[in-house]
Amino acid sequence: MWRYLIWSLRLRRVEYRIAELPIFLIPMLLTISDASAFEGAAFWEGLLIFLFLFASGDLLNCLADRELDAIYKPHLTEAVYGIGLRGVAAQAALSAATAVGLSIHLAWVLDRWLLVPLVLAGVFIAYAYSVEPFRLKRRGLWQLAFYWLGLFTGPMVFAAFLFDPWPSWSVLAVAVFYGLMQTGVILVNAAEDYPEDRELGVRTVIVSLGLKRGLSLALLLGLLGGLGLEVTFLGLFLNRQLPLATLVGLLPLVLTHAVVIYSMRDVARRVQVMNEVDAIAAVKRTARWVPAWITSLAVSTLLATTVFYREAPPKTEPLESVRDHPEI
Protein backbone atom coordinates (compact mmCIF):
# COMPACT_ATOMS: atom_id res chain seq x y z
CA MET A 1 0.00 0.00 0.00
CA TRP A 2 2.72 2.47 0.98
CA ARG A 3 4.76 1.55 -2.07
CA TYR A 4 1.73 2.17 -4.30
CA LEU A 5 1.28 5.61 -2.71
CA ILE A 6 4.96 6.47 -3.17
CA TRP A 7 4.80 5.40 -6.82
CA SER A 8 1.68 7.50 -7.38
CA LEU A 9 3.32 10.58 -5.87
CA ARG A 10 6.49 9.98 -7.85
CA LEU A 11 4.58 9.97 -11.16
CA ARG A 12 2.85 13.22 -10.23
CA ARG A 13 6.29 14.89 -10.10
CA VAL A 14 5.50 16.68 -6.83
CA GLU A 15 9.02 18.12 -6.82
CA TYR A 16 7.85 20.60 -9.45
CA ARG A 17 5.07 22.10 -7.32
CA ILE A 18 7.32 24.79 -5.79
CA ALA A 19 7.85 26.25 -9.26
CA GLU A 20 4.26 25.57 -10.39
CA LEU A 21 2.28 27.17 -7.55
CA PRO A 22 3.43 30.71 -8.50
CA ILE A 23 1.83 30.12 -11.90
CA PHE A 24 -1.51 30.06 -10.06
CA LEU A 25 -0.76 32.71 -7.44
CA ILE A 26 0.79 35.43 -9.64
CA PRO A 27 -2.32 36.23 -11.75
CA MET A 28 -4.51 35.77 -8.68
CA LEU A 29 -2.65 38.42 -6.66
CA LEU A 30 -2.72 40.82 -9.59
CA THR A 31 -6.50 40.41 -9.88
CA ILE A 32 -8.03 40.19 -6.39
CA SER A 33 -8.78 43.22 -4.25
CA ASP A 34 -8.34 41.76 -0.76
CA ALA A 35 -7.35 38.62 1.13
CA SER A 36 -10.95 37.40 1.44
CA ALA A 37 -10.44 35.74 -1.95
CA PHE A 38 -8.28 33.11 -0.24
CA GLU A 39 -11.35 31.91 1.66
CA GLY A 40 -13.66 31.45 -1.32
CA ALA A 41 -14.49 28.62 -3.69
CA ALA A 42 -12.63 30.31 -6.53
CA PHE A 43 -9.35 29.86 -4.69
CA TRP A 44 -9.75 26.39 -3.23
CA GLU A 45 -11.57 24.70 -6.08
CA GLY A 46 -9.49 26.59 -8.62
CA LEU A 47 -6.29 25.42 -6.95
CA LEU A 48 -7.53 21.82 -6.94
CA ILE A 49 -8.37 22.07 -10.64
CA PHE A 50 -4.90 23.45 -11.29
CA LEU A 51 -3.21 20.61 -9.38
CA PHE A 52 -5.36 17.87 -10.91
CA LEU A 53 -4.61 19.13 -14.43
CA PHE A 54 -0.87 19.13 -13.84
CA ALA A 55 -1.10 15.68 -12.21
CA SER A 56 -2.99 14.30 -15.20
CA GLY A 57 -0.37 15.65 -17.59
CA ASP A 58 2.52 14.27 -15.54
CA LEU A 59 0.92 10.83 -15.30
CA LEU A 60 0.30 10.67 -19.04
CA ASN A 61 3.83 11.80 -19.80
CA CYS A 62 5.38 9.17 -17.54
CA LEU A 63 3.11 6.51 -19.05
CA ALA A 64 3.96 7.44 -22.65
CA ASP A 65 7.71 7.76 -21.96
CA ARG A 66 8.10 4.64 -19.85
CA GLU A 67 10.54 2.96 -22.28
CA LEU A 68 12.65 6.09 -22.77
CA ASP A 69 12.67 6.79 -19.03
CA ALA A 70 13.94 3.26 -18.37
CA ILE A 71 17.33 4.48 -19.59
CA TYR A 72 17.58 7.93 -18.02
CA LYS A 73 14.86 8.05 -15.32
CA PRO A 74 14.41 4.44 -14.19
CA HIS A 75 12.61 5.46 -10.99
CA LEU A 76 9.69 6.70 -13.12
CA THR A 77 9.56 3.53 -15.20
CA GLU A 78 9.63 1.47 -12.01
CA ALA A 79 6.62 3.41 -10.72
CA VAL A 80 4.69 2.98 -13.99
CA TYR A 81 5.14 -0.78 -14.04
CA GLY A 82 4.65 -1.03 -10.28
CA ILE A 83 1.19 0.52 -10.53
CA GLY A 84 0.49 -1.05 -13.94
CA LEU A 85 -0.24 0.62 -17.27
CA ARG A 86 -4.00 0.52 -16.75
CA GLY A 87 -3.63 1.84 -13.23
CA VAL A 88 -1.59 4.86 -14.36
CA ALA A 89 -4.02 5.55 -17.21
CA ALA A 90 -6.94 5.31 -14.78
CA GLN A 91 -5.31 7.77 -12.38
CA ALA A 92 -4.68 10.22 -15.23
CA ALA A 93 -8.27 9.92 -16.44
CA LEU A 94 -9.63 10.32 -12.90
CA SER A 95 -7.52 13.43 -12.31
CA ALA A 96 -8.74 14.97 -15.57
CA ALA A 97 -12.37 14.07 -14.84
CA THR A 98 -12.12 15.56 -11.35
CA ALA A 99 -10.73 18.80 -12.77
CA VAL A 100 -13.59 19.01 -15.27
CA GLY A 101 -16.19 18.20 -12.60
CA LEU A 102 -14.84 20.87 -10.27
CA SER A 103 -14.80 23.40 -13.12
CA ILE A 104 -18.50 22.74 -13.81
CA HIS A 105 -19.37 23.29 -10.15
CA LEU A 106 -17.23 26.41 -9.94
CA ALA A 107 -18.69 27.79 -13.16
CA TRP A 108 -22.17 27.35 -11.69
CA VAL A 109 -21.23 28.97 -8.37
CA LEU A 110 -19.53 31.95 -10.02
CA ASP A 111 -21.82 32.06 -13.08
CA ARG A 112 -18.65 32.05 -15.17
CA TRP A 113 -19.05 29.28 -17.74
CA LEU A 114 -15.92 30.11 -19.70
CA LEU A 115 -14.03 28.19 -17.01
CA VAL A 116 -15.32 24.86 -18.33
CA PRO A 117 -13.95 25.12 -21.90
CA LEU A 118 -10.67 26.47 -20.47
CA VAL A 119 -10.29 23.34 -18.34
CA LEU A 120 -11.35 21.07 -21.21
CA ALA A 121 -8.69 22.73 -23.36
CA GLY A 122 -6.14 22.07 -20.60
CA VAL A 123 -7.12 18.39 -20.48
CA PHE A 124 -6.75 18.08 -24.25
CA ILE A 125 -3.39 19.89 -24.35
CA ALA A 126 -2.00 17.66 -21.59
CA TYR A 127 -3.18 14.59 -23.51
CA ALA A 128 -1.94 15.83 -26.87
CA TYR A 129 1.56 16.52 -25.54
CA SER A 130 2.29 12.90 -24.65
CA VAL A 131 -0.14 10.61 -26.50
CA GLU A 132 -0.42 9.62 -30.15
CA PRO A 133 -1.57 10.60 -32.69
CA PHE A 134 -0.69 14.14 -31.53
CA ARG A 135 2.44 13.59 -29.39
CA LEU A 136 3.41 17.26 -29.51
CA LYS A 137 6.71 16.60 -27.74
CA ARG A 138 7.88 14.80 -30.91
CA ARG A 139 6.65 17.46 -33.34
CA GLY A 140 9.32 20.13 -33.31
CA LEU A 141 7.99 23.63 -32.77
CA TRP A 142 4.67 22.27 -31.50
CA GLN A 143 6.57 21.29 -28.37
CA LEU A 144 7.57 24.93 -28.00
CA ALA A 145 3.90 25.98 -28.24
CA PHE A 146 3.02 23.47 -25.53
CA TYR A 147 5.68 24.79 -23.17
CA TRP A 148 4.46 28.36 -23.57
CA LEU A 149 0.69 27.77 -23.64
CA GLY A 150 0.27 24.48 -21.80
CA LEU A 151 2.73 24.88 -18.94
CA PHE A 152 2.71 28.60 -18.23
CA THR A 153 0.51 31.13 -20.03
CA GLY A 154 -2.62 28.97 -20.32
CA PRO A 155 -2.80 28.05 -16.62
CA MET A 156 -2.11 31.69 -15.66
CA VAL A 157 -4.96 32.93 -17.86
CA PHE A 158 -7.24 30.32 -16.27
CA ALA A 159 -6.25 31.50 -12.79
CA ALA A 160 -6.98 35.12 -13.74
CA PHE A 161 -10.45 34.20 -15.00
CA LEU A 162 -11.22 32.56 -11.66
CA PHE A 163 -11.17 35.95 -9.95
CA ASP A 164 -12.18 38.35 -12.70
CA PRO A 165 -14.62 37.70 -15.59
CA TRP A 166 -12.52 40.06 -17.73
CA PRO A 167 -8.89 40.21 -16.55
CA SER A 168 -7.02 43.40 -17.41
CA TRP A 169 -4.59 43.52 -20.31
CA SER A 170 -1.73 43.96 -17.86
CA VAL A 171 -2.57 40.68 -16.12
CA LEU A 172 -2.75 38.87 -19.45
CA ALA A 173 0.56 40.48 -20.48
CA VAL A 174 2.20 39.15 -17.31
CA ALA A 175 0.96 35.66 -18.26
CA VAL A 176 2.26 35.96 -21.83
CA PHE A 177 5.72 37.31 -20.94
CA TYR A 178 6.18 35.04 -17.93
CA GLY A 179 5.41 32.08 -20.17
CA LEU A 180 7.93 33.21 -22.79
CA MET A 181 10.63 33.73 -20.17
CA GLN A 182 10.21 30.32 -18.56
CA THR A 183 9.84 28.61 -21.94
CA GLY A 184 13.26 29.94 -22.89
CA VAL A 185 14.74 28.52 -19.70
CA ILE A 186 13.08 25.13 -20.06
CA LEU A 187 14.48 24.81 -23.59
CA VAL A 188 17.94 24.60 -22.04
CA ASN A 189 16.70 21.58 -20.12
CA ALA A 190 15.38 20.08 -23.36
CA ALA A 191 18.78 20.70 -24.96
CA GLU A 192 20.39 18.48 -22.33
CA ASP A 193 18.69 15.45 -23.93
CA TYR A 194 19.59 16.45 -27.49
CA PRO A 195 21.90 13.50 -28.37
CA GLU A 196 19.63 10.88 -26.78
CA ASP A 197 16.47 12.31 -28.35
CA ARG A 198 18.12 12.50 -31.77
CA GLU A 199 19.36 8.92 -31.53
CA LEU A 200 15.93 7.63 -30.55
CA GLY A 201 14.13 9.66 -33.22
CA VAL A 202 12.34 11.95 -30.76
CA ARG A 203 11.94 15.15 -32.79
CA THR A 204 11.90 17.74 -30.02
CA VAL A 205 12.22 21.44 -30.78
CA ILE A 206 15.98 21.21 -30.11
CA VAL A 207 16.39 18.22 -32.43
CA SER A 208 14.35 20.05 -35.06
CA LEU A 209 16.40 23.27 -34.88
CA GLY A 210 19.76 21.84 -33.93
CA LEU A 211 21.69 22.53 -30.75
CA LYS A 212 23.13 25.90 -31.76
CA ARG A 213 19.94 27.45 -33.13
CA GLY A 214 17.90 25.89 -30.33
CA LEU A 215 20.01 27.54 -27.64
CA SER A 216 19.90 30.86 -29.50
CA LEU A 217 16.11 30.64 -29.53
CA ALA A 218 16.09 29.79 -25.82
CA LEU A 219 18.19 32.86 -25.08
CA LEU A 220 15.94 35.10 -27.21
CA LEU A 221 12.74 33.88 -25.53
CA GLY A 222 14.24 34.14 -22.05
CA LEU A 223 15.51 37.67 -22.70
CA LEU A 224 12.37 39.07 -24.38
CA GLY A 225 10.02 37.36 -21.95
CA GLY A 226 11.82 38.69 -18.90
CA LEU A 227 12.14 42.22 -20.28
CA GLY A 228 8.46 42.22 -21.24
CA LEU A 229 7.53 41.05 -17.76
CA GLU A 230 9.60 43.77 -16.10
CA VAL A 231 8.17 46.48 -18.39
CA THR A 232 4.64 45.26 -17.61
CA PHE A 233 5.34 45.55 -13.89
CA LEU A 234 6.64 49.08 -14.44
CA GLY A 235 3.43 49.87 -16.27
CA LEU A 236 1.43 48.58 -13.31
CA PHE A 237 3.53 50.75 -11.00
CA LEU A 238 2.75 53.87 -13.04
CA ASN A 239 -0.90 53.01 -13.63
CA ARG A 240 -1.65 52.38 -9.96
CA GLN A 241 0.44 55.34 -8.79
CA LEU A 242 2.21 53.30 -6.17
CA PRO A 243 4.91 54.51 -3.75
CA LEU A 244 8.41 54.62 -5.18
CA ALA A 245 9.54 52.06 -2.60
CA THR A 246 7.34 49.50 -4.36
CA LEU A 247 9.98 49.21 -7.07
CA VAL A 248 12.26 47.52 -4.55
CA GLY A 249 10.03 44.48 -4.97
CA LEU A 250 11.16 44.23 -8.58
CA LEU A 251 14.85 44.00 -7.76
CA PRO A 252 14.98 40.23 -7.03
CA LEU A 253 13.27 39.53 -10.35
CA VAL A 254 15.56 41.88 -12.29
CA LEU A 255 18.71 40.47 -10.68
CA THR A 256 17.61 36.84 -11.05
CA HIS A 257 16.67 37.38 -14.66
CA ALA A 258 20.02 39.05 -15.35
CA VAL A 259 21.96 36.14 -13.83
CA VAL A 260 19.95 33.54 -15.75
CA ILE A 261 20.28 35.38 -19.06
CA TYR A 262 24.02 35.86 -18.55
CA SER A 263 24.42 32.11 -17.98
CA MET A 264 22.24 31.23 -20.98
CA ARG A 265 24.14 33.67 -23.19
CA ASP A 266 27.44 32.22 -22.04
CA VAL A 267 26.57 28.64 -22.98
CA ALA A 268 24.86 29.70 -26.24
CA ARG A 269 27.96 31.69 -27.25
CA ARG A 270 30.41 28.93 -26.37
CA VAL A 271 28.41 26.26 -28.18
CA GLN A 272 28.64 28.22 -31.44
CA VAL A 273 32.39 27.60 -31.70
CA MET A 274 32.61 24.13 -30.15
CA ASN A 275 32.55 20.74 -31.81
CA GLU A 276 29.44 18.72 -31.10
CA VAL A 277 30.91 16.51 -28.38
CA ASP A 278 32.20 19.47 -26.35
CA ALA A 279 29.00 21.45 -27.00
CA ILE A 280 26.83 18.64 -25.64
CA ALA A 281 29.04 18.36 -22.55
CA ALA A 282 28.80 22.12 -21.96
CA VAL A 283 25.01 22.07 -22.29
CA LYS A 284 24.68 19.16 -19.86
CA ARG A 285 26.75 21.04 -17.28
CA THR A 286 24.64 24.17 -17.68
CA ALA A 287 21.32 22.28 -17.65
CA ARG A 288 21.94 21.23 -14.06
CA TRP A 289 21.04 24.79 -13.10
CA VAL A 290 17.71 24.84 -14.92
CA PRO A 291 15.55 23.67 -11.95
CA ALA A 292 17.11 26.40 -9.79
CA TRP A 293 16.61 28.99 -12.54
CA ILE A 294 12.95 28.14 -13.07
CA THR A 295 12.23 28.12 -9.35
CA SER A 296 14.11 31.34 -8.62
CA LEU A 297 12.39 33.17 -11.49
CA ALA A 298 9.02 31.89 -10.28
CA VAL A 299 9.62 32.92 -6.67
CA SER A 300 11.07 36.34 -7.55
CA THR A 301 8.12 37.06 -9.88
CA LEU A 302 5.74 36.03 -7.11
CA LEU A 303 7.57 38.33 -4.69
CA ALA A 304 7.21 41.27 -7.08
CA THR A 305 3.53 40.45 -7.51
CA THR A 306 3.02 40.27 -3.75
CA VAL A 307 4.50 43.73 -3.29
CA PHE A 308 2.18 45.14 -5.95
CA TYR A 309 -0.80 43.41 -4.32
CA ARG A 310 0.02 44.78 -0.86
CA GLU A 311 0.49 48.32 -2.11
CA ALA A 312 -2.28 48.49 -4.71
CA PRO A 313 -5.57 50.22 -3.92
CA PRO A 314 -8.69 48.03 -4.10
CA LYS A 315 -9.70 47.49 -7.74
CA THR A 316 -13.09 45.84 -7.30
CA GLU A 317 -15.45 44.66 -4.64
CA PRO A 318 -14.57 41.31 -3.01
CA LEU A 319 -15.38 38.43 -5.34
CA GLU A 320 -18.88 37.08 -4.96
CA SER A 321 -21.17 35.06 -7.14
CA VAL A 322 -24.18 36.72 -8.65
CA ARG A 323 -26.12 33.84 -7.13
CA ASP A 324 -25.52 35.44 -3.74
CA HIS A 325 -27.68 38.37 -4.85
CA PRO A 326 -30.94 37.03 -6.26
CA GLU A 327 -32.28 40.56 -6.54
CA ILE A 328 -29.80 41.30 -9.36
CA pair distance 287, 95, nearest whole angstrom: 31
CA pair distance 45, 117, nearest whole angstrom: 16
- What is the pLDDT of the chain when averaged over all its residues? 87
CA pair distance 84, 104, nearest whole angstrom: 30
CA pair distance 16, 36, nearest whole angstrom: 27
CA pair distance 247, 309, nearest whole angstrom: 13
pLDDT of 123 higher than 90: yes
Q: For the residues 228-245, what does the mean pLDDT come to? A: 85
Q: What integer pLDDT is reported at residue 311 of this predicted model?
A: 52
pLDDT of 322 higher than 50: no
| CATH 1.10.357 in the chain, residue ranges | 1-166
CA pair distance 225, 244, nearest whole angstrom: 24
CA pair distance 38, 47, nearest whole angstrom: 10
Question: Residue 198, class by beta-carbon neighbours within 10 Å (0-12 exposed, 13-18 middle, 19+ buried)?
Answer: middle
CA distances 19 to 16, 25, 28, 30, 151, Å, are 6, 11, 16, 18, 11
What percent of the chain has pLDDT above 90? Answer: 52
CA 166 to chain centre: 21
- When pLDDT is cut at 50, 70 and 90, the band that residue 328 belongs to is very low
pLDDT tens sequence across 273-282: 888 889 889 9
User: How many C-beta atoms lie closer than 10 Å to residue 25's C-beta?
Assistant: 21
| CATH 1.20.120 in the chain, residue ranges | 168-315
pLDDT of 167 higher than 80: yes
DSSP 111: T
pLDDT tens sequence across 214-224: 999 999 999 99
Q: For the residues 296-302, what does the mean pLDDT come to? A: 95
- 168 vs 246, residue with greater confidence: 168
CB of 187 closer than 8 Å to CB of 205: yes
CA pair distance 135, 137, nearest whole angstrom: 5
Tell me which of 30-34, 83-87, 98-102, 200-204 is least confident: 200-204
Q: CA nearest 95: which of 8, 4, 1?
A: 8
Q: What is the CATH number of domain 1-166?
A: 1.10.357
Q: For the residues 132-153, what does the mean pLDDT come to? A: 85
CATH architecture of the region 168-315? Up-down Bundle (1.20)
Q: What integer pLDDT is reported at residue 1 of this predicted model?
A: 73
Q: For the residues 110-119, what does the mean pLDDT come to? A: 93
pLDDT of 172 higher than 50: yes
pLDDT of 4 higher than 90: no
